[in-house]
Copies of this chain bind each other. A is one copy, B any other.
Amino acid sequence: MTDVETGLRDRLVDVGVDLVAREGAQALTLREIARRAGVSHGAPRRHFPTHLELLSAIARRGFGELAARTAARGGQGPARARLTELALAYLEFALDNRGMYELMFRHDVLESGHLRLRDTSLPLFERLVELTGAARPGVDARTVAGALWANLHGIAQLWSWGSLQLATGAADFTPLVRAALDAHLGPEDA
Copies per assembly: 2
Task: Name the contact of A150 in the complex, choosing from B121, B158, B166 (C-beta under 8 A).
Answer: B158
Q: Which of B24, B107, B149, B170 contacts A146 (CB 8 A)?
A: B170
Is A26's beta carbon under 8 Å from chain B? yes
A2 interface hit (Cβ, 8 Å)? no
Does A102 sit at the interface, judged by CB under 8 A?
A: yes
Interface of A is mostly: helix
Q: How far is the CA of A167 from the CA of B105 in the complex (A)?
A: 15
Which of chain B's residues has its CB closest to A165's CB?
B146
**Does any Cβ of B come within 8 Å of A153's Cβ?**
yes
Q: Give chain A interface residues in 71-114, CB to chain B under 8 Å.
A: 102, 105, 107-108, 112
**A118 CB contacts on chain B under 8 angstroms:** 166
* Known interface pairs A147-B151, A154-B154; 4 further A-B residue pairs with C-beta atoms within 8 A, sorted by A's residue number: A121-B163, A144-B179, A145-B167, A152-B154
